[in-house]
Amino acid sequence: MTAATADRAALVAAARDSIARGSQSFAMASKLFDRRTRERAWLLYAWCRRCDDLADGQALGHDMHGADDPAARLAEIRTKTDAALAGAATGDPAFDGLALVTAECRIPRALIEDHIAGFALDAEGWAPQTETDLLQYCHHVAGVVGMMMALVMGVSPKEEETLQRARDLGLAFQLANIARDIGEDARNGRCYLPRTWLAEKGVDPHNLGDPASRPALVRLARRLAELAQRYEESARRGTAALPFRSAWAVLAAAGIYGDIARKVVARGEAALDERVFTTRREKLGWLFKSWRQALGRSGYAGRG
């Protein structure tokens, strides 16, 4: 037993606390998994959340103020990840938990490195020039997480189509995030909208706060939301390959997060000023709707 796996219960507890405070949507959806899958999902989430917080200079996804030394923060992510995967205790439960879930689910190192590549892009001050660039970024920061989550749910690395659908769900989540955060990102000196999109609308990427640009930004948020919807629909088609409880959780998360993109569209310019979220009642509603969807999946044969 390595130092990182010496106290599984403590690492799981720390991960549970991380998701409870960092994402109510994912926390609620994770409760639908069986216990072992749920714990592994928490462990993976905690590492992703911790890396994101280090990269952005925030706490549990909130109060982003920008990293004061992006290169040093990226180096910390890599150093702690390397140490944890080598079996050394890092003193950081999120990284020690990564070692645990990686060992239990045989998550390939390549996927972990693929995720860190997204943080490296942010550290470089990268911005997408085209829609293809945007989707590649979304792959790094979220699509690959969807693939790792599929492995946590027991999907074989050989089931390439199912892993692709899992990646699509990650893309849908990230596109919804970007649509939701256009205003907040602009206030923090960031812009994830492709430069070609902005040029089409005559928007200066360095002056997104210009009141004259607001109608154009609303239209671009709608474009992001529509793209997210297409990837969400693709991901839903992959749930037939999952056990019932995993499919239920995935469909719940898809619905809850999909509603964020839909609300961004519905609120128009107001979404640029105030962060969109789903209410607890709406989340609970998706738990019931996704239960019915999971039962009605094409190809479902009563898997447990």
Same domain, 84 and 202: no
- Residue 62, SS3? strand
Same domain, 222 and 256: yes
State which of 38, 71, 106 marks the end of a domain.
106
- Say if 167 falls within a structural domain: yes
- Say if 114 falls within a structural domain: no
Number of domains composing the chain: 2
Same domain, 28 and 174: no
- Say if 301 falls within a structural domain: no
Same domain, 4 and 88: yes
Please, are residues 300 and 244 in contact by the beta-carbon 8 Å criterion?
A: yes
Note the pLDDT of residue 301: 40
Which of the four pLDDT bands, split at 50, 70 and 90, describes residue 108?
very high
Which of the four pLDDT bands, split at 50, 70 and 90, describes residue 69?
confident
Burial of 62 (0-12, 13-18, 19+ CB in 10 A): exposed
Angle at 135 between CA 268 and CA 120, to 5 degrees: 110
d(CA 263, CA 100): 37
3-state secondary structure string, 51-109? HHHHHHCCECCECCCCCCCHHHHHHHHHHHHHHHHCCCCCCCHHHHHHHHHHHHHCCCH
Same domain, 98 and 155: no
Residue type, 157: P
pLDDT at 1 over 60: no
Same domain, 135 and 93: no
Residues 85-94: tens digit of each pLDDT? 999 999 999 9
**63 Rama sector, left if φ>0, alpha if ψ -120 to 50, beta otherwise:** left
- Say if 111 falls within a structural domain: no
Residues 128-163: tens digit of each pLDDT? 999 999 999 999 999 999 999 999 999 999 999 999
- Say if 119 falls within a structural domain: no
pLDDT at 68 over 90: no
Same domain, 92 and 146: no
What CATH number corresponds to the domain at position 82?
A: 1.10.600.10
State which of 75, 106, 137 marks the end of a domain.
106
pTM score over 0.85: yes
Q: Structure tokens of 225?
A: 């939301």
- Report the number of secondary-structure helices (H) and strands (E) in the chain: 14, 0
Same domain, 140 and 19: no
State which of 42, 76, 106 marks the end of a domain.
106
Same domain, 140 and 255: yes
Which of the four pLDDT bands, split at 50, 70 and 90, describes residue 297?
confident
- Say if 116 falls within a structural domain: no
Same domain, 279 and 187: yes
CB half-sphere exposure, 265, CA atoms < 13 A: 14
Residue 134: which domain range? 127-294
- Say if 120 falls within a structural domain: no
Same domain, 279 and 132: yes
Same domain, 245 and 201: yes
pLDDT at 111 over 50: yes
Q: Structure tokens of 290?
A: 């996704």
Q: What is the mean pLDDT of residues 165-192?
A: 94
- What's the gap between Cα 293 and its chain centre? 22
pLDDT at 189 over 60: yes
- Say if 69 falls within a structural domain: yes
